[in-house]
Every structure is written in structure tokens, then in C-alpha cells.
Amino acid sequence: MINKIFTILFFLSFLQLSFGKGNVDSLLVALQNAKEDTTIVNHLEKLSWEYHRTQPEKTIFFAQKSLEIAHKLDYTVGIIRAKNVLAVAYSIQGNFDKAFLTFNEAILLAEATDNQFYICRTYNNIGRTYMKIGDFENAINFYQKGDLCSKHFNLQQQMSDNLLNMASAMQEQKMWDAALQYAQEALKIADNIHNENLLCDAHKIIGISLLQQHQLDEAATHLKTALFHAKNKGDKVGTSSIMNQLGMVYFQKKQPDLALEAHRKAYQDANQIDYKEQKILALQHLAELYLLENQESKAIEKSMEGVLIAEQLGNLKHITIFYDLLSKIYAAKNDFPQAYIFHTKLKTLSDSLTVAEKNQKLSELKIQFQLESKEAENQLLKAQQAQDKLTIQKATLASSAIIIALLGVCFITFLLFKSFKEKQAHSYQLEGEVKRRTHELEKINADLKKSNKEMERFNHIASHDLKEPLRNIISFTRLLELRLKNKEDRIAHEYLSFVITNAKQMNTLIEDVLEFSKVSNKKIELEEVDLSKIMEQVLTSLQPILEKKTTDIFYKKLPTIESNSTQLYILLKNIIENGIKYNNHITPSINISYKRIKDKHHICITDNGIGIDPAYHHQIFDMFKRLHNRQEAEGSGLGLSICQKIAHRLGGEILVKSAVGKGSTFTLVLPTPSAAPKTAAPKKLLVFK
């Protein structure tokens, strides 16, 4: 044991020159001077965490050493901490199966020892990992578990950390108001406990949310505060990330010089610690800024460096971004052969994703086949077990009857008893086999569920990549425009206009397909939903449409009900948007009302639009069904399909009442609990252009 510890310390001394400065140096010195074994475990765990963002392979190395020593010492807390750090590193490397397995081991050990602090922390870490793979529902589920745990035991640090996780989840879903609310609550707790790490993260998330809402001055204030805390900690990871966000604020404020300087500093800080993710982001923004300033050579230099780093990370998204940038830069330089080369590379990346989709489908079919085979074997074992139990019961009755009737026939009784024991042992053996096979079946079932989740994620990614051909079409159209810029060729320009129009229609279709894929078939969590707040969010998102087409929107007596805010937001937005789009009235108007009928919520959306022929009422909810051509109204035909799917998931239905020229009324009927809903104050909201 002691020899191994000294071997690790010698290795640490050897690596000190390459592993960095600051906290790492102090931890290395502490390790070399440590006298107690548990202290060495703690220092190794802290050292491993220092590298988790920049060099996860070193995190794994030190965490495994910490775990090995903790096991030998039977140091439970050290084992839990080491497993958490290991799982985080696996997640960063993209090894999510191993990450979840290690997290589960940590949870089981924390629950067995009733260590509530690490139970809450592990829940949060599992939630973060689900966010990485795009599983929003499971992420929220584990964040809520962590929230309940931390509140129950009044763990202030964990409460603030959990709120920040929820804020990050809301940001991923582009729900900026909700993200801002969670981050502000986390900031209050962080202020009370004077935790600089949490203060830094809270100000950063608030700044990013305000940036997305175009509140640029307030965003800059919070990001600068976050930068102050990050510098106090000597956190180069934090400073590089915050400087990139500040650069985006300055760019939107039309201060390109300040934006350029911010992204340069972000690149410098990230480069010092080899933090490749932020280096890529800084290089992307620098290339874009240089392109705007017509410094094509610098833009090409930054883009090529970005491609190299993205290829090292296997980051296809950023490789695509840099290829697109390079295409634009060379087009601006009138170097069309180079522009074509990078467009060809974009096409190659799209083809590689198609191959990955086929492999995923084969994997799913293989797991399905294994599951069905295991199920058949399990049924046979259960049937055999039932037959053996029946045989045992008969033998028991026979043995009892013989013992009572023939007390003198001891030899026969002994033989029957022996037979009974043998069959009972065989039954226990079969029962154990059934349990083992059942466990295997449950594992395969979990694998299948996971595969289905991955397939949903992949479908989402593949739908995004449908945009790649559109980028090619638009890019080549621009190249043609450049070539025809000084030529008066009316027919060619009409063809180009036709290409652009169809590309926009295709983009609308892809966006709706993405929206449809977000509506999962999994059971949703119900919550208290204020319909008035949902309406405010819907109107905010529809503001661009309302600015083009003046529409009066009325709503009053909208209550708080038990439902799901995200799903209701999507449903109401689609129906109201249709009411605006398909409306030729002189003064378009939409009325939203609520009433409760026989323990059912009835939410009615009525417009004075063009109406729908009753003959088509049963068709309007079909996927891609359109009653008007694209010249009369834009759209993909998926909006009402999405609405109907959401209504069914919420346990309700959508009713339609409409006639041509008389407007339409869509009624969302939802189940209610026995208690009456809380009614909000009446409102009348008029939206003007």
C-alpha cells in the first residue's frame, strides 16, 4: 500500500512540469507532504477535478488512483467522490454508458450510507449528463430530485447549484424568461453563502439570458461581474467562456473593436490551458469579424486553425461552421474553386451522418431481436417452474398421506421425502435462473429504451442536417448572383428567385419537422400552469408576425391549471399563428376564452379568418395536410398535427367548429382534478403593428 502511494507521488513529481500551475502546483506539494492515507485520497480527487474541463484523460487517471486507494482504506466518502469525478470525465469524453453506470454505483453507495449531500450532488451530475445527450425530460427529472433532496435537508450550496442547472436546461430549450428566473434565485442563495463559484456561474447565466433577450447593457454588467469572480478564482476556463459571451454583446452593440478584443482575450485564456471548446468558439467569432472587416487572410487563418481543433475533438458541428465560413471568405475573394472545395467537404460530412443513421437502425434491430429471444426463454422457464411447483405440491400431499396412513413404512417415507427435497432444490435452481434471466431481460429492455432515445436524438440531428443541402443551394445561388451581377439576364434572375423561394419553403418544413420530433411519446410531468403567463410568452414569440399583420388578440379569465407549460405553449402558439396566417378580414381578431364543463377544462381559440369547410374537418389534423397552396399561405401542414399529438399526450382532445368565411373555433379539452382551478385577474391585451 505505502509503496504504491510513493510510486504515485514520484509520478506526480515527474509530471509537474507539464500539468500546469496554481492550484495544481499546491495540490502536488500537498500530496508529496501528506502523511495520512485519506488525505492522499482527498488530494488526488481534487487534483483530478482540476483537469475535468480541459484534460479529461488526466482526470480519469487521478480519479482512478484515488478510487483504488479509497477502496483499500474502505473510505466510503472518498469512493463516492471519486466515482462522481470519474463519471463526469466519462461524460465529457462522450462515453455516456460508462458515465451512467458509474453514477449509479455512486448513488447506490450514497443511499446505503445515507449521505444526503452526495445523493443530491450525484442527482445533479446525472441531470447534466442527460442534458449533454439531449434528453431534456430525464434531465429535468433528476434536477427535480436533487432540488427536493437539497430543500429537505436545507443544503444551501446544492440548492443554488440545482437552480443553476435548471437555468441551463431552460437555456437549452431557449426559454430565456424561465432561465433568468432560476438564475436570479440561485444568485440570492449564492450571495447569502458567499460562494464565489456559484456567484460566477449565476451572473454568467443571467448575462447570457439577457443577451438573448437583447437587453445588452444589463447583459454586459452581469458578464463583467462574472468575469471579476472568475479572475479572482484564477479560472481560465471561466474567463475564456465569459469573454466570448462579452464579445457577442459588443458585436450586437455594434462595437466591433471591443468585440474583436474580447474574443482575442478569450482565445488567449483558452490557449493557455488548452481549452479547445472555447478556442473553437473564439476562432469562429474572430473569423467572422475579420470577414466583416474585409481582412480575408486573417479570417482564413483563424478558420483553418478552428478546423484543425474541431477535427481533434471530432466536433462535426464546428467543422461545418468553419467550412461554411471558408466558403464565404473565398467567395468574397472571388476564389470560386476554393469555395467549391469547401462546399464539397460540407456534402461529405452530410453523407457520413447518413451512414451513422443506418448503423443506429441496425443496432436497434439487433437489440430488439435479443429482447424477443430472451422473452421467449423466460416464458419457457416460467412454465417449467410452474409445472415443477405443481409436482412438488402433489409430492407433498402424497408424502403427508403416506406418513399419516403408514407410520410404519419409514423407508418409503424417507424415499418420498428425499424425492421432494430434490425437486424443491431443482425448483429453487429454476427460480434463480428465472431471476437471472429476468434481470438480463430488464437490462436489454433498458438498452432498447436507451437505443430508442438515441434514435430520437439522431432523428433530431438528421433533421437538422436536412438544412445542409439548403445551405449548398443558397451558397451556390449566391455564387451565381456574383457571376451574373453585372449581366442583364432577366430569365436567370427569375430562376434564382425561384430557387430561393423554394429553399425558404423547405426550411419551413424542416423547422416544423423538428418541432414535431420534440413532442415525445413519453409520459410527461404535470405542474401548475398559469395560462395568462403562457399567453404572454406566446404573444412575445409571435411579435414578428404581428408587426407584419396587425391583429387584435383578446383574452380574459385565464386560470392556473394542472398541465405542462412547455406543451401548452407549443399548442397555443401554433393555433393562434394559424388564426393570424389564414385571416383576410379587414380587422383580424382572435379571442381566447376559458370555461369549465363537467370537470373538463375548455380553452377556446376563436378567429374571424377564412374558415374551414366542414367536409375537411376530419383531415386538417393529418400530417402534411394543406387546404391551401403555398402561394395563398406559407406553412408545412404539420402545425395542427403537432397540436393534436400534444392534446393526446395531455389526456385531452381538440375540437373544431368552422365554416368557410365565418372564422374558426378550436377548443382544447383537458381533464381536471376535483379541485377548481385558480383564476387569474381578467386581462384584455391588444397587439398593434
**% of residues, the chain, pLDDT over 70:** 78
Amino acid at 71: H
For residues 322 and 306, the answer to whether their CB atoms sit within 8 Å is: yes
Q: Which domain holds residue 545?
A: 527-679
Q: Give the per-residue pLDDT at 515.
A: 59
Q: What are phi and psi of 603, to 5 degrees?
A: -105, 115
Tell me, what's the pLDDT at 680? 42
Average pLDDT, the chain: 78
Same-domain check for residues 626 and 654: yes
Torsion over CA: 524, 530, 535, 536 (sign): negative
In order, the DSSP letters of 547-592 are: HHS-BEEEE---EEEEE-HHHHHHHHHHHHHHHHHT---SS-EEEE
If asked whether residues 513 and 531 sit together in one domain, one would say: no
Q: Characterize the bridge pairing of strands 589-596 and 552-555.
A: parallel
CATH code of the domain containing 634: 3.30.565.10
Distance, in Å, from the CA atom of 656 to the CA atom of 680, rounded to the nearest integer, reads 26
Q: Is 217 a domain residue?
A: no
666 and 535 both lie in a single domain: yes
* Alpha-carbon span 144 to 210, nearest angstrom: 25
Reported pTM: 0.48
In a domain, 370, yes or no: yes
pLDDT of amino acid 247: 93
Distance, in Å, from the CA atom of 89 to the CA atom of 509, rounded to the nearest integer, reads 38
Q: Is the pLDDT of residue 18 over 50?
A: no
Half-sphere exposure of 575 (CA within 13 A, CB side): 29
Q: Are residues 504 and 442 in the same domain?
A: no
Q: What is the pLDDT of residue 125?
A: 86
Bigger pLDDT: 169 vs 192: 192
Q: Does the pLDDT at position 653 exceed 60? A: yes
d(CA 546, CA 563): 27
Whole-number pLDDT of residue 261: 94
Domain membership of residue 184 (yes or no) is no
pLDDT band at 67 (very low <50, low <70, confident <90, very high): confident
The residue type at 238: G
Predicted pLDDT at 73: 86
> In this structure, how many other beta carbons lie within 10 angstroms of the beta carbon of residue 603?
25
Structure-derived torsion over alpha carbons of residues 12, 16, 20, 26, reported in degrees to the nearest 10? 70
For the residues 140-154, what does the mean pLDDT come to? 82
Residues 156-167: what's their mean pLDDT? 85
- SS3 of 432, please? helix
Query: Would you say 282 and 270 are in contact if contact means Cβ atoms under 8 Å apart?
Result: yes
Q: What radius of gyration do the chain's Cα atoms show?
A: 32
pLDDT number for residue 223: 93
| 375 plus 432 within the same structural domain | yes
Both 531 and 675 in one domain: the answer is yes
CB 600 within 8 A of CB 669: yes
Asked whether the predicted pLDDT for residue 314 surpasses 70, the reply is yes
Would you state the pLDDT for residue 221? 94
Hey, is 488 helix, strand or coil?
coil
Per-residue pLDDT band for 371 (boundaries 50, 70, 90) equals very low
- Which of 186-200, 353-367, 608-622, 638-652 has the lowest average pLDDT? 353-367
> How far apart (Å, rounded) are the C-alpha atoms in residues 436 and 95?
27
Question: Same structural domain for residues 369 and 389?
Answer: yes
Lowest mean pLDDT among 285-299, 401-415, 665-679: 665-679
Looking at the structure, tell me whether residues 479 and 547 fall in a common domain: no
End-of-domain residue from the set 437, 465, 493: 465
Q: What is the rounded distance in angstroms from the CA atom of residue 119 to the CA atom of residue 10?
A: 34
Q: How many CB atoms lie within 10 A of CB 533?
A: 15
pLDDT for position 36 = 61
Structural domain includes residue 298: no
Position 366 scores a pLDDT of: 45
Of 202, 211, 142, 204, nearest to 174 by C-alpha is 211
pLDDT of residue 264: 93
Q: How far is CA 248 from CA 87, 214, 421, in A?
A: 33, 11, 77
The predicted structure's pLDDT at residue 17: 36
d(CA 160, CA 143): 12
Residue range 524-560, pLDDT digits in tens? 778 899 999 989 988 988 888 888 888 889 988 789 9
Comparing 404-413, 592-601, 663-672, which segment has the lowest mean pLDDT? 404-413
The answer as to whether 226 is a domain residue is no
Phi, psi of 666 (to 5 degrees): -105, 125
**Helix%, strand%, coil% for the chain, nearest 5:** 75, 5, 20
305 is a domain residue: no
**Which CATH number characterizes residue 2's domain?**
1.25.40.10
Count of Cβ atoms closer than 10 Å to residue 236 Cβ? 23
The SS3 call for residue 527 is: strand
| Last residue of one domain, picked from the residues 465, 493, 510 | 465
Per DSSP, the three-state class of 230 is helix
In a shared domain, residues 434 and 487: no
What's the grid cell of residue 578? 394559424
| Confidence at 681, pLDDT banded by 50, 70, 90 | very low
pLDDT score for 32: 60
Q: In 133-175, which residue ranges form alpha helices assigned H by DSSP?
A: 136-152, 156-172
Which pLDDT does position 374 carry in this prediction?
Answer: 45
Flag the least confident range among 6-20, 114-128, 265-279, 473-487. Answer: 6-20
User: CB neighbours of 382 closer than 8 A, spacing ≥ 6?
Assistant: 434
Q: Residue 196: is its pLDDT beyond 90?
A: no
Q: Please write the tens of the pLDDT for every residue from 411-422.
A: 787 788 787 788
Nine-digit cell at 186? 440561485
pLDDT for residue 365? 41
Predicted pLDDT of residue 28: 60
Same domain, 551 and 671: yes
Name the more confident of 688 and 518: 518
Q: Give tens-digit pLDDT for 376-412.
A: 554 665 567 667 777 777 777 777 777 787 777 777 8
Residue 203, in any domain of the structure: no
Q: What's the whole-number mean pLDDT along residues 346-368?
A: 53
Residue that finishes a domain, picked among 84, 110, 136: 110
533 and 675 belong to one structural domain: yes
Same domain for 496 and 536, yes or no, is no
Specify the higher pLDDT residue, 29 or 576: 576
pLDDT one-digit tens code per residue, 203-259: 999 999 999 999 999 999 999 999 999 898 888 888 998 999 999 999 999 999 999
Q: Number of structural domains, the chain? A: 4
What CA–CA distance (Å, rounded) separates 142 from 147?
9
CA dist., res. 627 & res. 633, Å (int): 10
pLDDT exceeds cutoff 70 at 117: yes
Note whether residue 247 is domain-resident: no
Residue type, 247: G
pLDDT for position 628: 52
